[in-house]
A and B are shown apart, each in its own frame.
Chain A
Amino acid sequence: IAGITQAPTSQILAAGRRMTLRCTQDMRHNAMYWYRQDLGLGLRLIHYSNTAGTTGKGEVPDGYSVSRANTDDFPLTLASAVPSQTSVYFCASSDGADTQYFGPGTRLTVL
C-alpha cells in the first residue's frame, strides 16, 4: 500500500514552461488537496477537490489549475511557470474525519 505518491520528486524548470505535478492515492479518499510550502509561511492551500468531478480554489490559486477526473488522481498544472512558484508542493488526501495524509512532496525550482 503506497498511500499517496507524487511525481516528480524534484524538477528544475525554465520560466514560461508548462509543468504538471502528479498525485495519486490508493486510499479511496474523496477529498484531495494541493499545498505549497515556503520557508516561514507554512502550508498554503492552492486548490482542493471534495470529490471526483469537483474542484475549488484555495488561498493561493493564481497560476495553477487542477482537475479531478477520478478518485485516485489529482494533477496540478502550472500553465506558464514563474520564479515565484519555486516551492515544495505537497499533495494530500482526507478521510471523513478531516485527517489529512500527505505525499512525499515535489521540490520545484523555476529559473
Chain B
Amino acid sequence: GQQVMQIPQYQHVQEGEDFTTYCNSSTTLSNIQWYKQRPGGHPVFLIQLVKSGEVKKQKRLTFQFGEAKKNSSLHITATQTTDVGTYFCAGKGSARQLTFGSGTQLTVLP
C-alpha cells in the first residue's frame, strides 16, 4: 500500500534558526497536504499542493511539491516559539484516502 515517510522525527532549533521537514511517498500523489498540531491539540490544516513543482508561501512558511509529485517539503524561516508543534504531511495517491506521514516534532528554544 501507499506509504508516506517523513523526516526528521524530531528537530530542536534555536529561535531565529530555519527549519525544514521532508516528506516522501512510495507512489505518485494527486495532492499533498500539510497539517500542524500544537502540543495537546488536534491537527489543523495548513495548505494543499496539487501541481508538479508547486511552491506556496504563508508568511515565513514555504511549501514545495516535487516535480515527480512524490515528495514535498515545509520550510520555516526564522522560527519563533509560536512555531512549536508537530508538522504532518498527508498524501493522496491511488487510494482515495489520505495517508499521513509520521510527523516532525519541532521544538524552538528561546
Which of B48, B92, B98, B103 is packed against the most chain A CB atoms within 10 Å?
Answer: B98
Provided the pairs A100-B45, A102-B44, A103-B42 are in contact, do residues A43 and B100 lie with their beta carbons within 8 angstroms? Answer: yes
User: Is the CB of B66 closer than 8 A to any CB of chain A?
Assistant: no
Whole-angstrom distance between the Cβ of B18 and the nearest chain A Cβ: 23
Return chain B residues, CB-CB under 8 Å to A105. Answer: 42
Return chain A residues, CB-CB under 8 Å to B31. Answer: 98
Q: B13-39: which residues lie under 8 A (CB-CB) from chain A?
A: 31, 33, 35
Whole-angstrom distance between the Cβ of A12 and the nearest chain B Cβ: 18
Asked whether, in the complex, the Cβ of A40 is within 8 Å of the Cβ of B88, the reply is: no
In this complex, the interface size class of chain B, counting residues with CB under 8 Å from chain A, is: 20 to 34
Asked whether, in the complex, the Cβ of B45 is within 8 Å of the Cβ of A41, the reply is: no
Provided the pairs A97-B48, A98-B33 are in contact, do residues A43 and B97 lie with their beta carbons within 8 angstroms? Answer: no
Total contacts A to B, CB within 8 angstroms? 51
Provided the pairs A97-B48, A98-B31, A98-B48 are in contact, do residues A90 and B43 lie with their beta carbons within 8 angstroms? Answer: yes
Asked whether, in the complex, the Cβ of B98 is within 8 Å of the Cβ of A98, the reply is: yes
CA distance A90 to B98 in the complex (A): 14
Asked whether, in the complex, the Cβ of B6 is within 8 Å of the Cβ of A42, the reply is: yes
Q: B52-106: which residues lie under 8 A (CB-CB) from chain A?
A: 88, 90, 92, 96-103
| Contact partner, B100, options A40, A44, A98, Cβ 8 Å | A44
Whole-angstrom distance between the Cβ of A90 and the nearest chain B Cβ: 6
Whole-angstrom distance between the Cβ of A108 and the nearest chain B Cβ: 15
User: Is the CB of B9 closer than 8 A to any CB of chain A?
Assistant: yes
Whole-angstrom distance between the Cβ of A21 and the nearest chain B Cβ: 14
